[in-house]
């Protein structure tokens, strides 16, 4: 069906009807008038409708099926939160409304800040940053500002483990630091000797994801924090995916000084499709003066934007941040409650470990042992059948599943990173496991040509570089 509209254009087919013009024809200045025939497909209305519907049917999302994309938390988001975020009073709120006219919105932001503090163990949050990477840049700029204000100007490097998300080094550099890579140890955690050796008086801090992108919780976290702090560094926590920790443990209690959260992963905003997202950044008390302006504050019974922050790192975004995304997070936290959030984390961790032990005889885990909200397996054993991780992923599409994350983290060969999240039923997880096992068997038997998979989709293998660099985004008439 896709391509129908492109292939069935025929001169004279019309898909609209307009009444005759009842105003005089206006003369346009020469040069602005298009003298050439437009290259547009000529089709009927029903053909357009079918084309658009066919395209929509090819779109895959959490609402259509299981989406185990690791490091991304593609979970189902309760519709009630979407509905509340469309309430007129919020949607139509003008950004320049005087504070007496938007007390409710400010109160929501003030309370959300407090909820994030309770969940993470931090003391204050800015709600302004618009995405994970933006939050990282905000947090690292706060760290930069902190050292600078103390005259500690030698600290211009940041330690980042080799398992880190690619945005970490990019954000550190964007905030004026150089990066030093710390290798992982044999269990997937931070190599303590390397940390010890590299934690010098030139290091501003350590950026850490815990559980990390291998799905592993680093048991040395308290010792890591001690080493970094005792030598004058600060700890930055990449909390893009908080789905393993909510209600169970808190980065603030591990010793982290700065934290960001991706609301578009963990807190009820759909992830993907280009946003809008939001990544609030939380800090411990001693860093509060460095937060971006303005900060939502309260004086007696009145909420307001505090601009009087002389040590602030400055402004990072428009005053309200992505307000409606914040609102969804607020509704999510309030409807789930402390017990519900904890249950979500427990369920997410259980699902990931269930998948891990049900397939690790065929796809061994990158690092053995319990994982957190995601499990990272390896497709290496299939290499002997000339089948790679990406082939497994393409074949999964034929079984009706969105592929997991592939080839990340880089430290695990043929990585298959699976994040089932808490929102899937056991039946759905079981059918995914069955598909993974069936695909292994297909590879072993060698009866299908994996290089042609997916076999059931409109498009099979695309040249991914070409698709990204020179996409064809509009119809042109065939010569």
Ligand X SMILES: *Cc1c(COP(=O)(O)O)cnc(C)c1O
Annotate each residue in 24-63 with x if it binds ligand X (CB under 6 A) or - if it does not, as one string.
----------------------------------------
Q: Is residue 210 a contact residue for ligand X (CB under 6 A)?
A: no
Instruction: Give alpha helix (H) positions in 373-425.
Output: 389-398
Q: Is residue 188 a contact residue for ligand X (CB under 6 A)?
A: no
What's the DSSP call for residue 20? Answer: P
Q: Is residue 268 a contact residue for ligand X (CB under 6 A)?
A: no
Q: Is residue 280 a contact residue for ligand X (CB under 6 A)?
A: no
> Can you give the length of the chain in residues?
479
Closest to ligand X by CB, 71 or 345: 71
Report the C-alpha dihedral over residues 130, 131, 133, 135, rounded to 10 degrees: 60
Q: Is residue 214 a contact residue for ligand X (CB under 6 A)?
A: no
Annotate each residue in 342-371 with x if it binds ligand X (CB under 6 A) or - if it does not, as one string.
------------------------------
The three-state secondary structure class of 240 is: coil
**Minimum distance, C-beta of residue 471 to ligand X, in the bound complex (Å):** 21
Contact region for ligand X (CB under 6 A) — 128-136, 153-161, 215-223, 367-375? 128-136
Closest to ligand X by CB, 184 or 241: 241
Among 209, 243, 405, 453, binds ligand X (CB under 6 A): 209
Phi/psi-derived region of residue 174, left when phi > 0, alpha when psi is between -120 and 50, beta in every other case: alpha
Distance CA 185, CA 161 (A): 10
Q: Is residue 241 a contact residue for ligand X (CB under 6 A)?
A: yes
Q: Is residue 269 a contact residue for ligand X (CB under 6 A)?
A: no
**Minimum distance, C-beta of residue 402 to ligand X, in the bound complex (Å):** 16
φ/ψ (deg, to 5) at 302? -105, 130
**Minimum distance, C-beta of residue 131 to ligand X, in the bound complex (Å):** 4
Cβ count near 92 (within 10 Å) = 8
Closest to ligand X by CB, 102 or 246: 246
**Minimum distance, C-beta of residue 451 to ligand X, in the bound complex (Å):** 30
Among 74, 119, 124, 133, binds ligand X (CB under 6 A): 133
Q: Is residue 175 a contact residue for ligand X (CB under 6 A)?
A: no
Size of the site for ligand X (CB under 6 A): 13
Candidates 169, 147, 119; CA nearest to 280 is 119
Among 69, 71, 105, 158, binds ligand X (CB under 6 A): 71
Q: Is residue 167 a contact residue for ligand X (CB under 6 A)?
A: yes
Q: Is residue 266 a contact residue for ligand X (CB under 6 A)?
A: no
Q: Is residue 70 a contact residue for ligand X (CB under 6 A)?
A: no
Q: Is residue 112 a contact residue for ligand X (CB under 6 A)?
A: no
Distance CA 463, CA 17 (A): 40
Distance CA 247, CA 70 (A): 21
**Minimum distance, C-beta of residue 217 to ligand X, in the bound complex (Å):** 14
- Largest Cα–Cα separation, the chain: 82
**Minimum distance, C-beta of residue 78 to ligand X, in the bound complex (Å):** 21
Among 238, 414, 422, 424, binds ligand X (CB under 6 A): 238
**Minimum distance, C-beta of residue 208 to ligand X, in the bound complex (Å):** 10
Distance CA 433, CA 440 (A): 11
CB 88 within 8 A of CB 252: no
- The single residue listed with the structure tokens 């790679």 is 388
Contact region for ligand X (CB under 6 A) — 234-242, 317-325, 380-388, 447-455? 234-242
Distance CA 39, CA 35 (A): 12
Candidates 214, 263, 243; CA nearest to 351 is 243
Taking CB atoms, the residue at the shortest distance from ligand X is 132
**Minimum distance, C-beta of residue 135 to ligand X, in the bound complex (Å):** 8
Among 62, 124, 216, 240, binds ligand X (CB under 6 A): 240
Count H helices and E strands in the chain, helices first: 14, 12
Closest to ligand X by CB, 43 or 325: 325
Closest to ligand X by CB, 233 or 409: 409
Phi/psi-derived region of residue 9, left when phi > 0, alpha when psi is between -120 and 50, beta in every other case: beta
CB 189 within 8 A of CB 166: no
- Name residue 237's beta-bridge partners: 208, 259
φ/ψ (deg, to 5) at 18? -115, 145
Closest to ligand X by CB, 268 or 453: 268
Q: Is residue 235 a contact residue for ligand X (CB under 6 A)?
A: no
The three-state secondary structure class of 190 is: strand
Closest to ligand X by CB, 265 or 288: 265
Q: Which two tokens stand for residue 119?
A: 């969940």
Q: Is residue 215 a contact residue for ligand X (CB under 6 A)?
A: no
CB 333 within 8 A of CB 145: no
**Burial of 229 per CB tally in 10 Å (0-12, 13-18, 19+):** middle
Among 68, 277, 282, 379, binds ligand X (CB under 6 A): 277
Cα angle, residue 174 at apex, residues 241 and 328 outer, rounded to 5°: 35
Q: Residue numbers of the site for ligand X (CB under 6 A)?
A: 71, 131-133, 165, 167, 209, 213, 238, 240-241, 262, 277
């Amino acid at each position: 069906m896709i391509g129908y509209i492109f292939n069935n254009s025929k001169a004279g087919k019309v898909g609209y009807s307009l009444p005759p013009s009842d105003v005089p024809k206006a003369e346009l200045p020469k040069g602005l008038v298009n003298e050439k025939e437009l290259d547009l497909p000529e089709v009927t209305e029903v053909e357009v409708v079918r084309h658009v519907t066919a395209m929509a049917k090819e779109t895959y999302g959490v609402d259509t099926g299981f989406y185990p994309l690791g490091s991304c938390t593609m979970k189902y988001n309760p519709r009630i939160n979407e509905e509340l975020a469309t309430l007129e009073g919020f949607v139509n709120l003008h950004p320049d409304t005087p504070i007496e006219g938007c007390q409710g919105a400010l109160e929501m932001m003030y309370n959300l800040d407090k909820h994030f503090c309770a969940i993470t163990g931090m003391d204050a949050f800015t709600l302004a940053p618009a995405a994970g990477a933006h939050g990282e840049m905000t947090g690292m700029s706060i760290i930069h500002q902190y050292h600078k204000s103390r005259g500690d100007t030698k600290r211009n490097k940041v330690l980042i483990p080799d398992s880190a998300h690619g945005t970490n080094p990019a954000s550190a550099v964007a905030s004026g630091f150089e990066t030093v890579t710390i290798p992982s140890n044999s269990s997937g955690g931070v190599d303590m000797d390397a940390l010890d050796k590299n934690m010098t008086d030139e290091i501003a801090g350590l950026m850490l994801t815990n559980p990390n992108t291998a799905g592993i919780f680093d048991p040395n976290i308290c010792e890591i924090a001690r080493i970094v702090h005792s030598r004058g560094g600060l700890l930055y926590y990449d909390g893009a995916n908080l789905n393993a920790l909510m209600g169970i443990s808190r980065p603030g209690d591990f010793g982290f000084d700065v934290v960001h959260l991706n609301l578009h992963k963990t807190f009820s905003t759909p992830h993907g499709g280009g946003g809008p997202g939001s990544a609030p950044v939380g800090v411990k008390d001693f860093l509060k003066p460095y937060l971006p302006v303005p900060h939502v504050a309260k004086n007696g019974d009145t909420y307001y934007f505090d601009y009087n922050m002389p040590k602030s790192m400055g402004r990072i975004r428009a005053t309200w941040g992505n307000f409606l995304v914040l609102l969804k997070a607020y509704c999510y936290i309030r409807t789930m409650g402390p017990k519900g959030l904890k249950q979500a984390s427990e369920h997410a961790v259980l699902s990931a470990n269930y998948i891990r032990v049900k397939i690790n005889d065929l796809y061994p885990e990158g690092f053995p042992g319990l994982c957190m909200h995601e499990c990272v397996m390896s497709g290496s054993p299939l290499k002997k059948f000339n089948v790679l991780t990406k082939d497994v992923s393409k074949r999964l599409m034929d079984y009706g599943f969105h592929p997991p994350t592939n080839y990340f983290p880089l430290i695990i060969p043929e990585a298959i990173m699976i994040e089932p999240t808490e929102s899937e039923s056991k039946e759905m997880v079981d059918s995914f496991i069955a598909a993974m096992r069936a695909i292994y068997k297909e590879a072993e038997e060698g009866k299908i040509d994996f290089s042609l998979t997916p076999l059931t989709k409109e498009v099979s293998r695309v040249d991914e570089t070409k698709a990204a660099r020179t996409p064809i985004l509009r119809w042109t008439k065939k010569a």
